A = this chain, B = another copy of it.
Amino acid sequence: MKTITIAMVGSGGTGVVALGDMLLQLAAGKGLFGIMRKTFSPQIRGGESASIVRLSAEPVASFDGCIDLLLILDWNNFQRFSDEIVITENTLVVQDAQAGQAPELDALNSPLQVDFSGMADSLGSSYANAAALGYLSAWMQLDSARLLSVLSQRLHLSEQDAEVVYQVAQQGSKAYANSPLSLTPLTNTQSHDSYWLATGNQMAGLGALEAGVRFVAAYPITPASDALEWIAGRIEQIGGHLVQAEDELAAVNMAIGASYGGVPAFTATSGPGLALMSESMGLAVASETPLVILDVMRGGPSTGIPTKSEQSDFNLALYGLHGDAPHIVLSPLSIPDCCNTVAWAVRLASELQTLVVVLSDQFLGQSAQIFPPIAETQHQAHLLKADLSTANEGEDGFNRYIDTESGVSPMALPGQAGGEYTADGLEHTENAIPSPRVQDHSKQLDKRLRKLRNHQYGDQWCATKPACEGSAGCLLLCWGSLYESACEAQQLLQERGHSVDVMGVRLLSPLPLEELNKQLKQYSSVVVVEQNHQGQFFHYLRSLGLETNALHCFAQPGPGLLSPTTMANKCEEVMVNEA
C-alpha cells in the first residue's frame, strides 16, 4: 500500500492544526483515505504544534513512523517533537520563508523555501497556512473548487475574509509550479461515493447514543472531554441529559442513579478519573446496576502525560475494585470501532446488569480518520425487566437478586408497583435485604460471576486477520489501538517473507478461554504487544493458565508511537530465535 505522510509544524499562531484538518478534508473529497494525529507543546496557547497526516488510496488507519514530507511554518522549538516526528534522509522538507533557522540535524535535507507568509502578507492576510494548503493542493491535485468552502468553514471566516484567504491559497497553488516537490502524489484508485471523517471520541459518543444512552454525567478530563463535548447538545435533542458533575465521584454515582431508574447511562474519563471511580464501580457490580465507563487512556502513572497515548490503565480497569468484583472490560480496535465497541458495552451492561469499562486511548480518541461509511450497530440497551403481573410477591418483597440459571435477575424499575426494593452495596439476600451470612454471600458472588462467564459473547470478542499467504506459525496478539498497527506490521512481515496472523482482543474480560486456547494452540509463538511498561495484558494472559507456552511479551510504554516496523522487527526476532 502506497502512503504519503505529511507532518506540518509551526507555532500556535501559524495554524498548522487547521492546515492538517483542511488537508484531510480535501484529500477525502478527492476519494483518498487518511488519518491524522495532532501533537502540542505543553503551552496552553501559542506554543508549538504539529499535525501529521497520512494519506493513501486505500483505507489507512495507522502510522508507520516515516515522514515523507515535512512542512514547516515555524522552526522554533522543532526539537520538542523529535520523539514523534522522526526525520530521515528520505524526508523532503518545505519551509516558509519566515520559518526561521532550521536546527542542525544530521538527517535533515536542505529545505525548499516557499514564501507562504509573504503571499499572505501581500494580500493583507495573516493566513500563511492557507497558502501552504494551496501549495499542497496543487501538488496533490486536490479539488480546488472545494478550497473556498473548506477554508471559510474551518477558519470561521466571514464571506469577505474568506474571499481574501482563498486568494492567498490560490497564490500558494500557483507557487507550486516554481517549487515542485520530487514526490509523486497519490492517485485514487478506489471508487466510492461517500466516506466518513471522524475521531474515535466522536465515534464513541455516537455508539453510546445509538445504543440508547440517554443520561451522561462526567467531569472534564483530557483526552476524554471531546467525546463528552460531542454528546453535549445532541443528547438533549434526543430526550436525554448530560450533567457536568462536580467531580468524578459525583459523575459515576449520577450515572448509577440514572441507570437504577432504567435510563441507560454513560460516563467518560481518563486514568485519574477512573481511579477515583473505583469505589463506586464496585457499587455498580454489587448492586447489579448497569454502568458504562469509557476510559480514554493517557500516559501514567498519576497525572503522567495527559495529552499523550498509553495503554497502561489495563490493570486498573481489570483489577482495580475492592472485593471480588467481576465485570466486563472491552477495547475498541480502531477509530470507527469505537462506535461499535461502545454500543456493545451499553448493550452488555444492560443485558448483564453490570459494569463495563471500555479502554480507548488518546490515539484512538483524538486522531481523525477518513473511513468507509459504517452501518448502525445492532447493539441496543436491553434490560431484563421484571414482569410483576406474574411474579408472585410474597411477604418478603420483590426478589431483586433472585438466583437464576443465567445469573441475571429480572430488574424492577421505580414506577413499577410491586417491584419496590432497595438496591444495595451491602451483601444481600435474594430479596435485597442486607445479609452478612456465608450462604447469601457465596450465592451472590457465584451469581455475579456466572452471569458474565455464561454469556455468549459471539465472534466479536476478537478480530483476526490471517496472513495472506502461507500458514502462519506466529501470532501477533494485541488489543485496543495497536490492532491497526499490528495489521500493518503483518504486511511488512509479508514483504520480508514472513507469515504472521494478527488477533486484536475486543473483549478483554471475561476472555472466552476455550476459544482463545483453541486459537493460540495453533502457533509456535505468540507475540503479545502492548503500549505500557510492565506488560499488563501479557501478565493477565499468563494468569489465565493458557494451554500454550509460546507467549512472548513485547511491551513498550508510551507516549511514542509503537510503529508497525518496531512490531515487525520484534516478531522477526522471535521467529528467528524459535527457528
CB-based nearest B residue for A308:
B436
Contact of A319 among B285, B318, B442, B560 (CB under 8 A): B318
Q: In the complex, are the beta carbons of B322 and A319 less than 8 A apart?
A: no
B-chain residues with CB within 8 Å of residue A557 when the two chains form the complex: 324, 441-442, 445
Minimum C-beta distance from A419 to chain B (A): 22
Q: In the complex, are the beta carbons of B42 and A307 less than 8 A apart?
A: no
Q: In the complex, are the beta carbons of B324 and A441 less than 8 A apart?
A: no
With most chain B CB atoms within 10 A of its CB, the pick from A279, A315, A544 is A279
Query: Interface code A441-479, partner B: CB below 8 Å = 1, 0 otherwise?
Result: 110010001000000000000000000000000000000
Q: How far is the CA of A345 from the CA of B42 in the complex (A)?
A: 37
Contact of A312 among B316, B323, B426 (CB under 8 A): B323
- Given A441-B559, A543-B542, are A533 and B301 also a contact pair (CB < 8 Å)? no
Q: In the complex, are the beta carbons of A559 and B304 less than 8 A apart?
A: no
Stretch at the interface among A68-76, A268-276, A481-489, A496-504: A268-276
- Given A305-B427, A557-B441, A557-B442, are A449 and B534 also a contact pair (CB < 8 Å)? yes
Contact of A307 among B272, B436, B545, B560 (CB under 8 A): B436
A563 lies within 8 A of chain B by Cβ: no
A490 lies within 8 A of chain B by Cβ: no
Minimum C-beta distance from A322 to chain B (A): 3
Minimum C-beta distance from A70 to chain B (A): 19
A132 lies within 8 A of chain B by Cβ: no
**A interface residues, tally (CB under 8 Å):** 65
Minimum C-beta distance from A68 to chain B (A): 22
Counting every copy of the chain, the complex holds: 2
Contact of A445 among B285, B325, B439, B533 (CB under 8 A): B533
Q: In the complex, are the beta carbons of A539 and B543 less than 8 A apart?
A: yes
A104 lies within 8 A of chain B by Cβ: no
* Given pairs A272-B322, A303-B424, 20 additional interface contacts (CB within 8 A): A83-B437, A275-B279, A276-B278, A279-B302, A283-B302, A286-B303, A286-B304, A299-B323, A300-B323, A302-B323, A302-B325, A304-B426, A307-B436, A313-B323, A315-B321, A320-B321, A324-B536, A441-B559, A539-B543, A539-B544
Report A's interface with B, CB cutoff 8 A.
42, 83, 271-272, 274-276, 278-279, 282-283, 285-287, 299-308, 310, 312-313, 315-316, 318-326, 424-427, 434, 436-439, 441-442, 445, 449, 532-534, 536, 539-540, 542-545, 557-560
